[in-house]
A and B are shown apart, each in its own frame.
Chain A
Amino acid sequence: MSFRKIDIDALEEDALGQDELDFQEIGELRPQHEVESQVNNRAQEVRSLLQRGNAAGALTTSLQDPPYGRNFGVAKARNTQTVMEVLNSIKVAEVPQLVKTLGPQEQDVLMKYLYAGMAAPEQNNSGVLLAWHEKLTEVAGQGCIVRVITDRRTV
């Protein structure tokens, strides 16, 4: 008997559900259009920073205030794309130095985007992402990877 698949909370009226957990971890969700316009503005800002050759600024900007919440699929995809553009435009030799300048929270967010990027290998260059992953893990350790797994605020 596959007892491990039994939903032991099925008869529990007051079970801790996904909605409640999301609310606890993410809080009140902002309106969809607001989040999407924020993400689009950021994409423009990041692009102009990249054109001016400010890779470090583009990276930190792209990692700010990511859209969290289950119903922001479009905004999340757009933001992931923005981060990927930044990661692809930075030379591999510069990566270790850049990763060190990030704060611990930014490192955690970057790791989330690395995994989000690797989840779509047809769109993103996994080689680049793996190079970033290697350098980031050297600095932020396995703890950073563990936090990607535990955090309910997915990107």
Chain B
Amino acid sequence: MSNQPIVNEFGLGPISCHAFNQDRSELAVCFNSNVVSIFRQSGGSWTLSSTLAEHDKPVTSIDWAPKSNRIVTCSQDRNAYVWTLDGQKQWKPTLVLLRINRAATFVRWSPEEDKFAVASGSRCISVCYFEEDNDWWVGKHIKKPIRSTVLSLDWHPNNVLLAAGCADMKARVFSAFIKGIDKKPAPTPWGEKLPFNTVCGEFSSGSGGWIHGVAFSPDGNSLAFTGHDSTITVVDQASGSVQTIRAPYLPYVSVLWLNESQIVAAGHDCAPHLFEKKGNEWSFSASLDSAVKKADVGTSARDTFRRMASRAQATATNDTEVHTHHQNTINSIRAFSGSRDHVEQFSTSGIDGKLVIWGTGLSRGMGNLHL
């Protein structure tokens, strides 16, 4: 594994979301449009193998179930489709009854792949499961106490608990227990009796801001979330501690746990940043983008304007280059290789239309990062 990030450029426009299949030989991407493109890896590059065109508004999220090889997509057209390969190796869509009246924003398969959850702007989460009797995917709504658009979701490894980040500045943990599909889960720090829509926790960072990303820790006992106030909050439900890190950078959009003591977050600063737990304290550790050259903090707005005024300039001649692999906001981080509790590589995609695969250096046996 090389330490240098692998940059894939498609040149087809901003990437709104991406998902890999199980062996990472195929990739589903949406270039900010109503179609999803499936690429297949061939000789180090990606070639288009098929397109999934059924939505009629921009696709907002994709997830690819590794074991059952099914893709679920959701879109601003308020629909979600489950795509399965038929005998002729063609992807066939099945409509899901979401019953929402605003855009669907985010979708994720549950770990067992027998359910998926769709977040939406109609202030609810639709937890969808397959109803054999009707041969149909149906959704059950988690409504209370969501007050605004749900922006992100993450499943607990027990297949029952669901974390949601919301534009009402709260991150919440719900039970998405479906009778007849789920068996009674083992007790976790989040609770023992978990009927559908139980609120197991409600958290905020304290300084406002939409919650952009949520993620359960590998064992599911902790929750990390990040908001538009440039903070990362880590909730350890077992000990009851809630720690908010006020980052000095632009807001993060997406978070991923590499292992129990490392979290990566990326967003408007265009680079993945690593947060580490030392003792019981979480803190910012490093930017994983070695190409990063810190912006010249010595130049204040005042100096810039003074210089501009002295030269009668209308625009600043400052170095406006972005010294990172991504040239614009990163909107999604996903695990690429390794296991849930030991991620070795992860992928990021962003508005600059690039998809970058990063090594964490963890496969070398130590938690030392090769920056």
Contact = CB atoms under 8 A, between A and B. Distances in A.
Interface string B299-326: 0111100000000000000000000000
B300 A141 contact: no
A133 interface: yes
B268 to A, nearest CB: 9
A29 interface: no
Contacts of B249: 141-143
A137 B297 contact: yes
Nearest to B249: A143
A147 B229 contact: yes
A6 interface: no
Main secondary structure of the interface of B (DSSP, over half): loop
A20 to B, nearest CB: 7
Interface residues of B, number: 24
Contact of A24 (B169, B228, B297): B169
B148 A16 contact: yes
A142 B248 contact: yes
A78 B81 CA distance: 57
Contacts of B228: 146, 150
B301 A146 contact: no
Main secondary structure of the interface of A (DSSP, over half): helix
Contacts of A133: 300-301
Contacts of B246: 104-105, 108, 140, 143-144, 147
B209 interface: yes
B117 to A, nearest CB: 21
A21 B170 CA distance: 11
Contacts of B229: 146-147, 150-151
Interface string A15-30: 0100011001100000
Given A142-B230, A143-B251, A151-B207, 20 more contacts: A16-B147, A16-B168, A20-B147, A24-B168, A25-B169, A108-B207, A134-B302, A137-B297, A137-B300, A141-B247, A141-B249, A142-B248, A143-B246, A143-B249, A144-B248, A147-B229, A147-B230, A151-B229, A152-B208, A153-B207
Interface of B: 147-148, 168-169, 207-209, 227-231, 246-251, 297-298, 300-303
